[in-house]
Amino acid sequence: MKFNKIKAEIITIGDEILIGQIIDTNSSWIGQELSKIGVSVVHRTSVSDSEQDIVDALNAAKDRADIIILTGGLGSTKDDITKLTLCNYFNSSLVINEKVLEWVTKIFSNRKLPMIDTNKNQAMVPEICEVLFNKSGTAPGMWFDVDDKIYISMPGVPFEMKTIFTEEAIPKLKQKFSFPVIIHRTIQTTSIGESFLAKKIEDWENDLPSHIKLAYLPSVGQVRLRLSGLGEDHDKLNEEIKIIITALYHIIGEYIFGVEDDTLQKSVGELLHKKNKTLSTAESCTGGYISHLITSVPGSSSYYIGSIISYSNEIKTHELNVDENILNTHGAVSKECVSKMAEQIRIKFNTDYAIATSGIAGPDGGTLDKPLGTVWIAVSSKTETFARIYNMGDNRERTIQRTALEGLDLLRRMLLEI
């Protein structure tokens, strides 16, 4: 199954991007939106507020892309030179667009501000372009159809750019090009590293048809698997991907906690809510991060009762009734300590389940017996308590994040009886 590949290039304009004063989120968002309609982004470029740099970028882009998208440099100040540069580039001249002028005039009138010449200039556009109306601001977007190439220029302000691209540019692109059907499906996994995951699904991946691609998207404690399928018939392609995903569940189902934008804390919360169960936490090395993840989910108050951050041994003994003999004999970072923490917080808060953590997040505190990154996690129910040891590595932030996710996944497995 072969399709004509439609290629796009994104050019962001502005010194502020190059010097790191602002982060370019526009390119990422545009890339995602183009992917949804079957356009492949083959290059991304950032250039300064210089006419020559913009021209050089345009010349390079037209040799490798069908669609060239620019953002930035369309404001009313002297450093906003994109519009004039495009005008010169296409040997056009600036003309007043009456619709834009009326809109800009209305905006300043409503704000009871004077309409000065600088603002009127926002309505000046190259005669050769089609205006992409900007209902979220004063600077219009511009569409150029030249030599079988499409050039789209939009403001750099993200909310203005998104409005123009979604409501004006995308519909015109769909009229201009014949796009294939494209379907993306994301499967969320946890508690297995990327290389181990790849080994487990190696045969499954090798059997994927050529028009369905797999991407591994790892992050701390998780790996997203994204399937991207191209086809001509949406229903047929969708059914094909469903069958492929079902086969994947048979291989690694225990590691899959959700799909698309699901989070582990959301999935665990849904299980607790469905089973009408409650949860409490006792956190040492995670310092409340598990609580933060759980309470980031709307409605978590229906199943999450609360936490004790037992960072010191005194809190472990006084608030969680961890016997001093356990601390003296085994230490705070031990199976015995973390198990007791989980059991006692569950009893103290009268919940069905509990998670407890204790570890050495660093950068100091490691020993030969308990090196940096050693973490114990326990989950407790009214019928059992289970604890597991991990080595999370020497990065404090990643240790905290991974520990929280592993704790949630241990609870997920207990709830599902995996």
Report if residue 237 sits inside a domain: yes
Report if residue 304 sits inside a domain: yes
Residue 296 corresponds to which tokens in the numbers above?
A: 């980031």
- Among 350, 324, 338, smallest CA distance to 387 is for 338
Q: Which amino acid appears at position 137 of this protein?
A: G
Residue 120 has pLDDT above 80, yes or no: no
Q: Is the distance from CB of 107 to CB of 71 less than 8 angstroms?
A: no
Report if residue 275 sits inside a domain: yes
- The per-residue pLDDT for range 145-179, each reduced to its tens digit, is 999 999 999 999 999 999 999 999 999 999 999 88
Mark whether 60 and 37 lie in a shared domain: yes
Mark whether 24 and 161 lie in a shared domain: yes
In this predicted structure, what is the pLDDT of residue 79? 60
Report if residue 32 sits inside a domain: yes
Mark whether 232 and 106 lie in a shared domain: no
Residue 161 corresponds to which tokens in the numbers above?
A: 């750019």
Q: To which residue do tokens 């009408």 refer?
A: 276
- Among 388, 217, 221, smallest CA distance to 293 is for 221
**Paired strand residues for 279:** 304, 353
- The per-residue pLDDT for range 290-303, each reduced to its tens digit, is 999 999 999 999 99
Mark whether 155 and 70 lie in a shared domain: yes
Q: Is the distance from CB of 403 to CB of 260 less than 8 angstroms?
A: no
Minimum mean pLDDT range among 97-111, 288-302, 358-372: 97-111
Residue 1 has pLDDT above 60, yes or no: no
Number of domains, the chain:
3
Using DSSP, state whether 239 is helix, strand or coil. Answer: helix
From 176, 193, 225, the end of a domain falls on 176
Mark whether 26 and 150 lie in a shared domain: yes
Mark whether 286 and 404 lie in a shared domain: yes
Mark whether 322 and 212 lie in a shared domain: no
Residue 3 has pLDDT above 90, yes or no: no
Question: Which residues are within 8 A (CB) of 208 and not within 5 positions of it... i.e. 6 or more apart?
Answer: 214, 244
Domain encompassing residue 89:
6-176
| Between 30 and 107, the higher pLDDT residue | 30
In this predicted structure, what is the pLDDT of residue 74? 82
Residue 330: burial class (beta carbons within 10 Å; 0-12, 13-18, 19+)? middle
CATH of the domain at 26: 3.40.980.10
CATH of the domain at 210: 3.30.70.2860
From 220, 239, 259, the end of a domain falls on 259
Mark whether 336 and 280 lie in a shared domain: yes
- The per-residue pLDDT for range 258-315, each reduced to its tens digit, is 999 999 999 999 999 999 999 999 999 999 999 999 999 999 999 999 999 999 999 9
DSSP string, 281-350: EEESTTTTHHHHHHHTSTTGGGTEEEEEE--SHHHHHHHH---HHHHHHT-SSSHHHHHHHHHHHHHHHT
Mark whether 41 and 26 lie in a shared domain: yes
Helix (H) or strand (E) holding 17, with range, is: helix 15-18
Mark whether 354 and 281 lie in a shared domain: yes
Mark whether 286 and 230 lie in a shared domain: no
CATH of the domain at 305: 3.90.950.20
User: CA 293 to CA 237: how far, in whole Å?
Assistant: 35
Mark whether 18 and 139 lie in a shared domain: yes
Report if residue 169 sits inside a domain: yes
From 110, 142, 176, the end of a domain falls on 176
Q: Is the distance from CB of 140 to CB of 163 less than 8 angstroms?
A: no
- Radius of gyration for the chain, computed over Cα atoms and rounded to the nearest angstrom: 28
Report if residue 1 sits inside a domain: no
Question: Which residues are within 8 A (CB) of 302 and not within 5 positions of it... i.e. 6 or more apart?
Answer: 273
